[in-house]
Amino acid sequence: MKTPSDTLEPLAANSIDRRSFIRRMAGAGALIATSALPVWADDEVPAAAPDVFPKRGQYERLSISYATVEIGAEKPFSVLHISDTHLTAAYEHENAKKQQLRESRTTTFGGHQEEALRDALAWARQHVDYVVHTGDLIDWQSEANFDLVRKYFGDAMFGSMGNHEFTTDMWLSDPKEEQTEAYKDNTRSLLGQVYPFDVRFQSQVVHGVNFITLDDVYGYVTEGQVERFLSEVKRGLPIVLCMHVPFHTPNIWRATMRFWRDKGPMTSRDVPEASGDYLMQQDDLVTRDFIRYLKTEPLLRCILAGHEHITVEDQFSPTCRQYVVAGNFLFHGREVLFL
């Protein structure tokens, strides 16, 4: 398990050589300081599609929302929160299942996922201090997708796993994919070699704020994760919880179901019947008790999540607001200013 340092300051790009900086970042398990992001040659930086808004700026196709969290930071800093990039690459030498997924899933996500990720990271270098990615960076496991993770985030990455990180061949898997810890154990060590942070649970303090990421990709948390969270609470620092699946509130669940299922106008306060992740959060005793506890924990000040492919937010507890960001594959992101 990688051991995080206690604090991390963003560094100017020329204040330390890249090798030393990457080594420090890897040891810290830190948020991506924007100075650690790759710099591309001019001909590699994507320009706006020439046939769409030809006179608009490069970044105007990005859909960036904004939030301010008064959290008691030692000094103000900003984070670009992105999620759900769904990279769909496969090398020619990879097997027939990977080729089939590359073709079908690239069509599903529009074929501009890498372009959208690169746009977001290039924008982040100019506008924020850090980047956090809350899962589904890749759509399924392949050598090519893993190489893209290394290319864009390298040893400086910070974030959480998504359910697609654990997917080997999606519906083509044999045996069939299961939403269990045992299934995740099949490739968890492999993912630990690709993603340079603890894929179960990670903590990193930035300017007096404790960023905690955990793997909740199937809607539940484990007893071990709860124990580690409670240990972090003892540090007495304000907490930002970063994870893939949001802890659903009725309003977030209503928005989610309207996006995915309901095609009519919003004319009711009724909350759709719980299913999937939301039902798991109610039925799994460890998760249900953890959520109940979190709603009373004053140090929890912010939750960052993705998974739903929509941008929505809601008050989670008296001290904590939850922000869900739409898919990076759609060029979405949210800048969060922490004060």
- Output the pLDDT for position 2: 36
Question: Cα–Cα distance between 329 and 162 in angstroms, integer?
Answer: 14
- Output the pLDDT for position 158: 78
- Output the pLDDT for position 38: 75
Within a domain: 98: yes
Question: Cα–Cα distance between 83 and 48 in angstroms, integer?
Answer: 21
Which alpha helices (H) appear in the chain, and where do they start and end? 18-28, 96-109, 113-127, 143-152, 181-185, 188-194, 223-233, 250-260, 276-283, 285-294
- Output the pLDDT for position 9: 41
Residues 226-266 have pLDDT tens digits of 999 999 999 999 999 999 999 999 999 999 998 888 667 77
Within a domain: 12: no
150: nearest Cα among 113, 195, 208, 198: 195
Residue 71 neighbours by CB distance under 10 Å: 22
HEC letters along 271-291: CCCCCHHHHHHHHCHHHHHHH
DSSP annotation of 22 reads H
In the three-class reduction of DSSP (H, G, I as helix; E, B as strand; rest coil), residue 175 is classed as coil
| Domain total of the chain | 1
Within a domain: 46: no
Sites in the chain below the pLDDT cut of 70: 1-30, 40-55, 155-156, 262-263
Within a domain: 48: no
**Could you tell me whether strands 321-324 and 312-315 are parallel, antiparallel, or unpaired per DSSP bridges?**
antiparallel
Within a domain: 1: no
Q: Residue 282: which CATH number?
A: 3.30.750.180
Q: Which residue type does 253 have?
A: W
Within a domain: 13: no
Sign of CA dihedral 123, 120, 24, 43: negative
What range does the domain containing 255 cover?
A: 18-39+58-338
Within a domain: 45: no
What is this structure's pTM? 0.88
Within a domain: 118: yes
- Output the pLDDT for position 175: 79
Q: Which residue type does 74 have?
A: E
- Output the pLDDT for position 307: 97
- Output the pLDDT for position 131: 94
